[in-house]
Amino acid sequence: MNSDRKFLDQAPRFLFFTGKGGVGKTSIGCASAVQLADAGKQVLLVSTDPASNVGQVFGIDIGNKITAIPAVSGLAALEIDPQAAAQAYRDRIVGPVRGVLPDSIVKGIEEQLSGACTTEIAAFDEFTALLTDSVLTADYDHIVFDTAPTGHTIRLLQLPGAWSGFLEQGKGDASCLGPLAGLEKQRSQYKAAVDALADPQRSRLILVARAQQSTLREVARTHEELNAIGLSQQYLLINGILPESETAQDRLASAIYRREQNALIHMPAALSGLPTDRIELKPFNLVGLMALGQLLRRSEPLSMPDNDVTPATSAANLSSLVDEIATDGHGLVMLMGKGGVGKTTLAAALAVALARRGLPVHLTTSDPAANLTDTLNGALPDLTVSKIDPHAETERYRQHVLATKGAKLDAPGRALLEEDLRSPCTEEIAVFQAFSRIIREAGRKFVVMDTAPTGHTLLLLDATGAYHREVSRQMGDSQQHFTTPMMQLQDPRQTKVLIVTLAETTPVLEAAQLQNDLRRAGIEPWAWVINNSVAATTVHSPLLRQRAANELSEIAAVANHYASRYALVPLLQDEPTGVERLLALAGDHWGISKTPSPLVPTGHKGEG
């Protein structure tokens, strides 16, 4: 079909939408699928997002089966459940060897299959059939994927297949070997799937971003990573740009507009050559066919409403959380959440607020995309800052393994070990070891950690759990006291986890899924922070007023169903960089009452 949007012009059979949480890839994927179907095509829309809300967008239950969308002729949808896929994947690999191999080997394989790497591989395993099984998909002209496979997953699948014997002989210091064990039968199917992804006649990847410097830097890294492994047919889609028409007589809207335009002007060079589309910010929630139909159209300026639709929202601000944290005198404070929700800024604000109180603080990040130095742009006497460098930590770990485990191997075994140490999960293990060293400091000072995006964080926690189980096995019935990192994370007296989100449907759903994952690991989140809220400030722009009103239901969901305590942080005119602005962000300078509002109560513990 021909479209005024480049990313849909002469669309190939497979379309993949990828990007950080909250950038709008689900809404755009759904709108694109509807537009293709309206053009007379048979379309299958597939979500591989664990917090998928495709069913909510269309107002029907979908689940892990191909389901026709009644309101759209020619459109069907499927939501792949990564957790169910991972369990089926584990059963398929472990089942044939149970009772055949020694129990110790079977337990080792099960241990290696417990991590997030397995979930990624299993989800890929599910949709490779959609790329290669002509019987299953023969009736569809287009297959639209919400959440593309990552470069991480594809690099795993490109590793050699000779791992089973390597594992059984106990040669591996395995990082990604577990998920890859027993894949030999699937390798031809996986190769066909990867070939399909790399074929520009069959596949197109659409990188979805917002007009923010950090988000554009992140999508530039994704572009380069995918390009390096042969996925070169990429388009850039910048979503949610504030129209210039909304800036009249609104200081906040004017500041946002200037900030976004500056980010677009200084876009990373790696993105400048990509075909690019821009979609303006919409005032409405992207649920239902009417909203989806308007998403890809050019916007008309809104008229000024007769009455003030900006809600008067009351909730605790960030300073109240800082006050509670400070009473402990020391401890680990971890900020978690999807990329793009503002964890780095909030971590820096918490750290400077604690340090200004005269408390010793170590601010650190395990997010390779974070730049704490730029955010702080200054120093405080009681504040130290560090960054876990994944590349440096990985090289240190790689050299250690080669010098110990590798020294005992023959040449073929060492070659396999070196190959494994080039896999992506090696980085996760190395970062975990650095993480473990830092959190020990929390016994005598505050350690505020800005974590990597959620998927990486959960991998890190899986590694923490594996370490805990290994230490427990080694200790056996010994009465010797020991404390593992996981025990520290599970102890609310030592660790406070803050989940950061935005007052939008998808980020809240993803944050709720993160909370469930943490609870399964025995970690109870201490608080939620709703960042960049329009409802927490005063605006005159008609579009922003409407968005402020739309936020109320999401804020209420956090307050009433998910959070034991929460804070609301407003969208600010100026980027909160530099110590003074960060202190203002964490302080009582917004004129927001701490008195509970009937609209948004201060929250009580929900089941999540």
Residue-wise pLDDT tens digits, 176-194:
555 555 555 566 777 788 7
What average pLDDT does range 268-280 have in this prediction?
Answer: 92
Please tell me whether residues 544 and 453 are part of one structural domain.
yes
End-to-end CA distance of the chain: 42
303: which residues sit within 8 A by CB, 6+ positions away? 542
Q: State the Cα–Cα distance between residues 519 and 524, nearest whole angstrom.
A: 6
Q: State the Cα–Cα distance between residues 233 and 141, nearest whole angstrom.
A: 19
Please tell me whether residues 210 and 334 are part of one structural domain.
no
Condensed to tens digits (0 to 9), the pLDDT of residues 390-400 reads 888 889 888 98
Among 19-23, 170-174, 248-252, 580-584, name the one with the lowest average pLDDT.
170-174
Residue appearing with tokens 């597939």: 46
Please give the structure tokens belonging to residue 267: 């876009």
Number of Cβ within a 10 Å radius of residue 130:
20
Closest CA to 282 of 302, 303, 268: 302
Domain range for 40: 6-295
Please tell me whether residues 273 and 362 are part of one structural domain.
no
Question: Judging by DSSP bridges, how do beta strands 75-79 and 67-68 pair with one another?
Answer: antiparallel
Among 262, 295, 328, where does a domain finish? Answer: 295
Half-sphere exposure of 465 (CA within 13 A, CB side): 20
Strand ranges inside 393-470, DSSP E: 446-450
Residue 606 within any structural domain of the chain? no
Please tell me whether residues 287 and 326 are part of one structural domain.
no
Please tell me whether residues 283 and 323 are part of one structural domain.
no
pTM for the model: 0.76
Strand order in the sheet with 14-18: 67-68, 75-79, 43-47, 142-146, 14-18, 203-210, 234-241, 276-280
Residue 151 within any structural domain of the chain? yes
Among 77-91, 221-235, 333-347, name the one with the lowest average pLDDT.
77-91
Q: What percent of the chain has pLDDT over 90?
A: 27
Please tell me whether residues 335 and 198 are part of one structural domain.
no
Residue 313 within any structural domain of the chain? no
Q: Which H/E stretch holds residue 254?
A: helix 251-265
Residue 595 within any structural domain of the chain? no
Number of Cβ within a 10 Å radius of residue 495:
22
Closest CA to 113 of 186, 176, 155, 185: 176
Please tell me whether residues 322 and 199 are part of one structural domain.
no
pLDDT for residue 324: 93
Please tell me whether residues 42 and 103 are part of one structural domain.
yes
Q: How confident is the model at residue 60 (pLDDT cuts 50, 70, 90)?
A: confident
Strand order in the sheet with 446-450: 383-387, 361-365, 446-450, 331-336, 495-502, 527-533, 566-570
Q: State the Cα–Cα distance between residues 338 and 24, nearest whole angstrom.
A: 13
Residue 86 within any structural domain of the chain? yes
Residue 591 within any structural domain of the chain? no
Please tell me whether residues 386 and 460 are part of one structural domain.
yes
Condensed to tens digits (0 to 9), the pLDDT of residues 296-354 reads 776 655 554 545 544 445 577 899 999 999 999 999 999 998 777 888 899 999 999 99
Cβ contact 558:603 at 8 Å? yes
Average pLDDT, the chain: 79
pLDDT for residue 601: 34
Residue appearing with tokens 């449907």: 505
Residue 406 within any structural domain of the chain? no
Please tell me whether residues 93 and 227 are part of one structural domain.
yes
Q: Mind telling me the catalytic residues? A: 22, 24-27, 49, 506
Please tell me whether residues 483 and 538 are part of one structural domain.
yes
Q: How confident is the model at residue 604 (pLDDT cuts 50, 70, 90)?
A: very low
Residue 600 within any structural domain of the chain? no
Q: Would you mind telling me the total number of residues written for the chain in this entry?
A: 608
Q: State the Cα–Cα distance between residues 388 and 230, nearest whole angstrom.
A: 29
Please tell me whether residues 193 and 229 are part of one structural domain.
yes
Q: What b/e sequence results for 524-541 when a residue is b if at least 16 CB atoms lie within 10 Å of its CB, and e otherwise?
A: ebbbbbbbbbbbbbbbbb
Task: Return the ∠ at Cα 240 (arms to 235 and 243), rounded to 5°.
Answer: 115
Cβ contact 171:416 at 8 Å? yes
Q: How confident is the model at residue 237 (pLDDT cuts 50, 70, 90)?
A: very high
596: which residues sit within 8 A by CB, 6+ positions away? 314, 315, 602
pLDDT for residue 180: 57
Closest CA to 123 of 176, 87, 158, 155: 87
Count how many domains the chain has: 2
493: domain CATH number?
A: 3.40.50.300
Q: How would you write 175-222 as a 3-class SS string?
A: CCHHHHCCCHHHHHHHHHHHHHHHCCCCEEEEEEEECCHHHHHHHHHH
Q: State the Cα–Cα distance between residues 157 and 151, nearest whole angstrom.
A: 10
Q: What percent of the chain has pLDDT over 70?
A: 76
pLDDT at 126 over 90: no
Cβ contact 496:529 at 8 Å? no
Please give the structure tokens belonging to residue 167: 């594992």
pLDDT for residue 591: 32
pLDDT for residue 453: 53
Q: How far is CA 442 from CA 353, 403, 446, 519, 528, in A?
A: 17, 31, 5, 22, 21
